[in-house]
Amino acid sequence: MSGFDLSGLTASFSGKRVIGPLSLHVNPGDKIALVGKSGAGKSTLIRLIHERVNRNSSLIPQDLGLVNALSVFHNVFMGQLDRHSTWYNTVTLARPFSKDRAEVHTLLQSLGMTEKLWTPAASLSGGQRQRVAIARALYRNAPVLLADEPVSALDGPMANSVMTYLRDRFSTSIIALHDVELALNYCTRIVGIYDGQIALDQPSENLAASDIMSLY
């Protein structure tokens, strides 16, 4: 599953509608950027999509969802928790298997994080924490990536490097991005959210940054 239809997506908080109702058709191979100002509903939409396609997706939530007391290795390994038995996961907590150590090490190498393999997540910087959440999504290796501002804490070169990596590793992706240039450079389709509705849905090649800025 890498293409899907989503219809009737709605969300309300305190009786106020913040999303929808809206529908979104995702084609296999789509690299969708969700753009729009803060509060437009991008994060809520990512959550709603995740509820629908859960097991088939790798999620990078905006709050990252790391367990502070656990090491970087264990936080990344959590990407595949549901693919192993309880005994396997329990053993891994105490003494990880060499195969899993090697796979996680390779992922962290590509993100410039190998020296942090056994560091508790609590002692990482914001950018390092973001890279751990990215590594966890890569380790899960689901066909669809759902990511909410995955490179907001990374500097320019690292942000571009990670966006290239995510584009190449996932066949289909939906990424909420505040950076319009990143959206145009790394995504094939731009979906603009305004007041909880889709206000724009176009191939990236048809758009310039100025076409998108009206949403902000």
What per-residue confidence (pLDDT) applies to 55? 85
Give yes or no for a contact between 3 and 30, defined as CB atoms under 8 angstroms apart: yes
Tell me, what's the pLDDT at 81? 94
What does the pLDDT read at residue 2?
66
Q: What is the pLDDT of residue 132?
A: 98
Which residue ranges make up each domain of the chain?
4-213
pLDDT of residue 40: 86
* Residue 89 CB coordination number (10 Å): 16
Confidence (pLDDT) at 15 = 84
Beta bridge partners of 57: 144
pTM (2 d.p.): 0.93
Positions in the chain whose pLDDT score sits under 50:
none
Could you tell me the CATH superfamily of domain 4-213?
A: P-loop containing nucleotide triphosphate hydrolases (3.40.50.300)
CB environment 164-201: b (16+ within 10 A), e (fewer)? eebbebbebbbbbbbbbebbbebbebbbbbbebebebe
Model confidence pLDDT, tens digit, residues 79-114: 999 999 999 999 999 999 999 999 999 999 999 999
